[in-house]
Structures are given as structure tokens and as C-alpha cells.
Chains A and B, each alone.
Chain A
Amino acid sequence: MSNPFDQVPFGAAEFADNPEPRCPCLLLLDTSGSMQGRPIEALNQGLVAFKDELATDSLAMKRVEVAIVTFGPVNTVAEFQTADLFTPTRLSTTGDTPMGAAIEHGLEMLRRRKDEYKANGISYYRPWVFLITDGAPTDSVVAAEQAIKAGEAAKAFSFFAVGVEGANMDILAKLSTRQPLKLDGLKFRELFSWLSASLSGVSQSQVGQTVALQSPAGWAEV
């Protein structure tokens, strides 16, 4: 059954204002109770650094779109928006770790955003999904795992998992088709600085040159 009404997109404004191709980046951030104290502090500072570094690249400011979903409980902190409009909000910690629900919610947001791009004739790069956690899921991740595998196979996005000290790396390895990375201490700042540089690189990538990601050696235990 299809919708009998041909819908007219109303989101044309942001794309008329800025028709650059988009490079979406979804951050799935664990803000459960165990992140309390120094970890959440470091994560907040990392997000500020992320924005600051993106701001040094005028093209990335127009092309990179950031969305944030936190979990414990699942909450959309920021809908997809270009880097110039993205302002890091202070995250605080609560609750448990519904990782599966967060992933499903985030991927659904991403799917909708892509529909908006398509409806408005906006081209986009392969989205990045970045999961950061210091624990293990407190809900089922079966559906999330399937969604990730399917998305990766269809090249609908690239999924990266990062474990902070205490994270269940086995589960992350099962979730992600890529090798999950283990954060070195609380080097969130370095992580986001790397992410910003990588997104800048992707947002002006060239032909015949698969974007060679810089080694995450500055922040991950490799």
C-alpha cells in the first residue's frame, strides 16, 4: 500500500540556503551512570574540540552534518544539522545502557535524513556512524546487529565502534563489521580531533583516491 498523496517536501529552506553535498556523521554516545565523573567530563570537552576543529575548515562547516543520540535512556540530543549550526551541549549521565535501542533509533534518523536529501536533490557522502561506550548493552542488540550488517553490506553507512575502559569489546566486535577500537585512557579530545580531520578529508575527497584514514594511533590502543 502506498501513500495516496504525493508529498511535497517543506525542508527546502536549509537546502536552498546551503546546497553543498552533505557528509552525515551520527554520534551514538553512552551516557549511562558508569560514565559519571571524569569520563563524561572528557567526552564533553572532546565534543567542544570537535566543533572547534571543524570550524577551521569552511567547506566542512557547510558539508559535515552532525547528529547526537545518547543512551541511558535513548535521547536525541541533536538532529542532523550542518557543523556551523551544531553547538555541543553539556551531556550528563543517567540510567543504564540501552545500546541496541539507541543504534536502531539512530539508524532510523539517518534513514529519514537521507530521504530528505533525496527529496531535495542534495547529494551526500557515505554516512559515518560512531558508537562510543564504556559498558555492555542492557537490552537486546540482535536487531541492531542485523541493521548494522545490512547497512554495511548495502554501503548505506560506515559503522565504527569505540570502547572506553570497561567496555565489553567482544560485543562491540560482534556488532561491528570493522574491528572496534579501544580508547586509550580518556583521550576523547584526540579522538574527536581525528574524527574532525577525517570528516574534513572525506568532505573534499578526490577521485581515484580512497580517503586514506589517518591512523587512530593518537587516541586508540593499537
Chain B
Amino acid sequence: MTTPKPLEVFTLCGEVIKLGALVGQGGEGAVYDLAVHQNHVAKVYHKPLDQQRIDKIRAMANIKTDMLEKLTAWPSGLICAKDRKPIGLIMPKISGRKSIHQLYSPKSRRTDFQRVDWRFLARAAANTARAFAAVHDNACVIGDVNHGGILVAQDATVRLIDCDSFQVSYLGQQYLCEVGIETFTPPELQNRPFAGIVRTPNHDNFGLAVLTFLLLFMGRHPFAGRYSGPEDMPIPKAIEQYRFPYGMNAAAVGMSRPPSTPELSVVGPRLAGMFERAFSKQGTSAGRPLARDWIAALTEFEANLKQCSANSSHWSLGGSLCPWCKMEGSTGVPLFSTVLPAGGGTLFDIVNFQRQVDAVTHQGQAPTIAHKAVSASPEAEKLKGHATKAKLIAGIAAAVMVVIGIALGGQIWFFGGAVGLFLILKGALGKDKEAAEFRRLATEAAAQWDKAHATWLERAGAGAFEKQKAQIAALRQEWDSLPSKRTAKLSELERNQRKVQLDRYLDGFEIAHAKIEGVGQGKKQILESYGIETALDVEWNKLMNVPGFGPKTSHKVVSWRTGLERRFVFDPKKAIDPHDIAQIDQAILADRKRLQGALVTGLEHLKQIKIQVMAVREQTLADMERLRLAADQTAANAAVAST
């Protein structure tokens, strides 16, 4: 869906606007840099703009304030084609930011937002609320709140984009927002087409609460939970029916939190109360917390966060157990990337460092989960021997029929009938179906155990720890080799220096003035026309390409060069340029810094791995034992039931 770049665009006043490079391309239009204004870009729509949209953009340009322009990509005016028909708009340029979903999902956060902890997430949420408040203060509504419409920078500041979909009121006119994303849409608007609906700030405040929840609860949607009913419970349906799995009424509406997620109370009573209100019926009728309320509550919340004593990248409100240690323990997934201790002296004490590494002792292998001595359940015992019994009875019946058959003169159909009777009776008397159900359960439990056990070995075992230790050892080795690396680079420089001098020397002997046997003026001119002018240019392969130079003559020319080379004396005194040495030292220093950083991070990571592995062992041992027991029990049942 590429639209060719328009040749010329104009302002409404007919001034020419020069477009620069294409910045991006979306479903609706293409965005270009402006050759003159670096802080703005032009969006050119693929399709012609309708009057409604034109009026809306014009209204937005009139509403524009400095604050709006700072917090959003607010349109500042229309642009037209040569025929004065509007084809797009001018808006502030926003770069170096990422969509908010890349911040709230732990996985993408680890790559896209490093060194982020809960304080950062609370700040980003408060900043989002600030942007919402600014829009609401100007009698506008965002409408289409979504995970892609908010861009976050590395300093947690946010900007809202796609502003041309906002609902705008200007001079008594209302321009509506006719789109929306289900998972950010309040219950009262679920399942209704957006066309014609007038949005209110209270609708936005639902989306804001969802965003805040996503940020504070590690990317979990507030309405994604486990539902006890038989049918599916997709998020939009859960929203519509006020089934908030973290709330006080969760059990009453058949919902429970997803496993390994924190309770609502981890955010403290004030924020918890706000989430309850935002996601309740009362919020629909009496109003949800306003953007301003969130700013105040989140600011207070952030100020009260305390660092965890076990893991420096964990911040929480304090209390009995750090929620992130608990969550990381039960899942084995690091929720935040390692935070480096600040500062750090100029001199790195490698010996002391090694001592610290050695102090992190090996955690041992994962505890083995032993088989349990179990006896089959009474239900299974009941089936015991049923197969043998069934066969016996069927066999007797069939034998009786055979005997009768023989007595009646050995009619063949009697024998066939006997076989049939045997099969029918065996099937009817047997309880194969029930036994099969026991076997199915056993297979299922065994598969579940195998899968969980493999995961257990991976997360509770020593593999990750040992790998990390080996990695630190490799870094240490590299660190130790830095001095010899420097020496090697210097001697390489020296060798190069010799070559530089030799080249300069050889270049001083011009063929034109040399006496070479068999190479007269004519041949010298030919050589010159082939770019062979000094002894430096003389190379066997080059000569062989010159017409008139056979092996014999070429050999003479090369000997001339070798003779000169032999007389060359290297002068180490004038050899090395101090700049070159400085360059090597700088490179070594950079290596040293890089390794130092990697070593320190590696040690922090090693500690974290150990903490996590220990936590996994503690938190999941009971589950593992339960799974082991289930596998053993169902296996025993199946074995007894099938005999």
C-alpha cells in the first residue's frame, strides 16, 4: 500500500513545503520529515480527506497549546496539494520512543527498557495520567485508548500519538472518535458500534486504569483471569460483565487471578481502591478515578517504594515478602533486568572481585523428587481381575456351546457361534472402558509429570548457575590476557612500521633512472604506462601482464627490487608514531572498561540466578511432589485396573 511521495505540498496559504525523507508508513497515510522544520513532520493520507476530518484537524490546530504540543503529536495545521485540496497535516516529530506495550511486558522490557524497576513503571503510569489530564482539560477525549497510542522514552516521559482520532469539541462543534480497541473499552461501550457515540472522559478513565494496571502488574490485563464457568471468558466479555479477577468480588463472579501473579494489595490500599472503583459498576455510573487522582496516588505510591534486601532490582511497598521475589520464584522469569550498583571506583580490584565470585557458593543439584509408595484406589481395586474373570466366564460358555455342537453332530455354525458368544460375553462382562479411563488418566499424569520435571530440572537445577560461572571465568581470562594483548598489538605496529619505512625506501628508486639489464628506455616507458614507476610497484604478477615482459626480463626487474630491499636498514628510532601507540592504549582501556562492566554485571546476575533458583526450589517443591504423587497414584490405579 505505498503511495508515491507527492511532488509538491503547500500550506493553506499556498506556501510550498519541502518534504524530506519518509519516516514511516501506516494504514492511513505516510509520514515525511520536513526539510525546513526539524521538529515537525508531515502526514500525507493515502485517501482524500473528507470534510469532517478537514474541519476536525482545523479545529485541533486552533485548540493547540504548548502543553498539548509537548505531551502529544497534536496537529498544527493542514497541508494541501497544488489544487488547494487538503491531503494531510503537520504535527510534532516524535522519535526515540517505544510503544507502551514494550515497557509493560517483562519480555520486551528486558530488551527495550533496561534498568527499569517498579518505580520507573509507576512514573510512566503517572506521566500517562498527566497526558490524559492535559487532553481532558482542553475539552477533548482520547477515545481510542490503546497499547500503541502511547510512546514512552527511556526517562519514563510519555507522548500520545494518533491524535487525529481524538474526540474534539470546538466552538460548539463536536468531532467524534469512531474507533477503539476492545481491551481498553469500558463495559458500557462494549459490543456497541462506535459510530455516533459521544465519548466522555469517564470512558478514557477506564482505559487509563487498564494501562496503569498493565504497567504495575507486569503486563497482566486486569480482566484476564481464570474463569470457573464452562464457556470461554475473553477479556471484552469479562469487562462487560464486571468480572475483575483481582477484585474483592472475584470469587462471586467466578474469577480467580492467573497463577503466579501478585494480589491487588501489593499496590497498597489507595491504589487498590482506585482499581476496584475503576473496574466496578459504580465506576460506570458514579464515575471512575480521574487522571488527576491517578497522578496524586501514583506519586505517593512511588515515593513509598522500598528496595528489596535480597534483590536490588526489586522495589515494593515493603511488608512480609517481596512480591517480585515470590513471583520470580514461582515462574523462574526475571521481571526486571539487573540493576548495576551505582558509582564504582576508578581502579578495579580483580582479586577482590574474584573473592566475591568465589563467595557465591554452588547451590547443589536440584533436589530429587522421590517416588511415593502408593496403593491403588478402591475404585481401581474393584476392577482388578475383571478381564481374567470375563475371559473365564466367556470361555466356559463357549466351551459349553462347542460341546453341544459336537453332541449335535458337529455342525460348523455352532463353532462359529461359540467364537461369537465368547467375544460378546467377554465384551459385556468386561469393564474395559473403565480400565481404559484409568489408563488414560495415568498417561496424562505421566506426561504432565515429565513436562514439569524437565522444567523443574532446568529451573531448579545448577545448569544456569554453572553456565554463568563459566561465563565469568571466560571474562576473567580475557581480562588477564589484556597485557599480552597490548604487547602483541605493539609488536604488530612495529612490524607495520618496518613495512612503512621499507615502502617509502623502495618508492624512492625510480625505474626511469635505474640501470636494469635488458630493460632499455622503451621498455621503461611501457612499464610506466602500466603504472610501474618505482621499485615499490614491482611485482611479479604485475610484470607478467605487461606486453613484452616474459619471465626472463621480469625476473631481472624483480631481482633489481630484491637487491634494493636487501640493502634496506630499518631504523627503529624513528619508527613508531606516538599517536598510534596512544590509539592502542585507548583500545585496551576500552576493553578493560567493557570487561569490568561485564564482570560486575555477571556477578550480579550470578547472585540473582542463585536467589531465583533457591526461590524456585522453595516455591515449587510442593507442586512437584503433588505431581509426582499424582503420577504414581494414577499409574498404580491403572496397573491394578488393567489386570
Which A residues are closer than 8 A to B by beta carbons?
A: 1, 3-5, 7-13, 15-21, 58-59, 62, 84, 118-124, 204-209
Contacts and interface: CB of A to CB of B under 8 A. Distances in A.
Interface string B226-261: 110000101110000000010000000000111111
B630 A7 contact: yes
Contact of B245 (A18, A121, A207): A121
Contact of B183 (A21, A122, A209): A21
A20 B103 CA distance: 12
Given A59-B148, A207-B194, A18 B441 contact: no
Interface in B193-240: 193-195, 218-221, 224-227, 232, 234-236
B331 A123 contact: no
Given A10-B620, A13-B455, A121 B226 contact: yes
A125 to B, nearest CB: 8
Contact of A123 (B106, B190, B235): B235
B630 A122 contact: no
Given A20-B219, A58-B108, A62-B105, A207 B259 contact: no
B629 interface: yes
Contacts of A9: 259
Main secondary structure of the interface of A (DSSP, over half): loop
Contact of B193 (A5, A123, A204, A208): A208
17 contacts: A10-B451, A12-B259, A13-B459, A16-B331, A17-B331, A17-B333, A19-B221, A19-B224, A21-B224, A59-B99, A59-B101, A119-B259, A120-B226, A121-B257, A122-B224, A123-B235, A205-B182
Interface of B: 99, 101-102, 105-108, 147-148, 179-183, 185, 189-195, 218-221, 224-227, 232, 234-236, 245, 256-261, 327, 330-333, 335, 377, 379, 434, 437, 441, 444-445, 448, 451-452, 455-456, 459, 620, 623, 626-627, 629-630, 633-634
B360 to A, nearest CB: 23
Given A62-B105, A121-B225, A16 B626 contact: no
A203 to B, nearest CB: 11
B260 A16 contact: yes
B327 A16 contact: yes
A2 to B, nearest CB: 9
A130 B370 CA distance: 43
Contact of A206 (B179, B245, B256, B257): B179
A3 to B, nearest CB: 6
Nearest to A2: B441
Contacts of B633: 4-5
Contacts of A19: 105, 218-221, 224, 258
Given A13-B459, A16-B333, A20-B219, 15 more contacts: A4-B377, A7-B627, A9-B259, A17-B107, A18-B107, A18-B108, A58-B102, A62-B107, A62-B108, A121-B259, A121-B261, A124-B234, A207-B189, A207-B193, A207-B236
Interface centre among B257, B261, B445 (most CB of A within 10 A): B261
Contacts of A62: 101, 105, 107-108
Given A10-B623, A13-B333, A123 B148 contact: no
B106 A17 contact: yes
B161 to A, nearest CB: 15
Nearest to B102: A58
A206 B180 contact: yes
Contacts of B189: 207
Contacts of A84: 107
A44 to B, nearest CB: 27
A118 B181 contact: no
Contacts of B102: 58
B226 A18 contact: no
B448 A7 contact: yes
A59 B219 CA distance: 13
Contact of B629 (A5, A15, A16): A5
Contacts of B185: 207
B194 A5 contact: no
Given A10-B455, A20-B101, A122-B258, A59 B437 contact: no
Nearest to B259: A12
Contacts of B232: 118
Nearest to B194: A208
Nearest to B223: A123
Nearest to A10: B452
B99 A12 contact: no
B435 to A, nearest CB: 11
Interface centre among A3, A11, A122, A208 (most CB of B within 10 A): A208
A5 B105 contact: no
A206 B332 contact: no
B105 A20 contact: yes
A8 B331 CA distance: 12
B623 A58 contact: no
Given A10-B451, A16-B218, A18-B107, A206 B181 contact: yes
B94 to A, nearest CB: 16
Contacts of A208: 180, 192-195
Contacts of A209: 179
A119 B195 CA distance: 36
A221 B394 CA distance: 61
B450 to A, nearest CB: 11
B234 A123 contact: yes
Contacts of B377: 4
A124 B36 CA distance: 46
Listed from nearest, the 7 A-B pairs whose CB atoms lie closest are: A121-B258, A16-B331, A5-B630, A208-B193, A10-B452, A12-B260, A18-B107
A4 B452 CA distance: 19
A8 B259 contact: yes
Contacts of A7: 448, 627, 630
Contacts of B448: 7
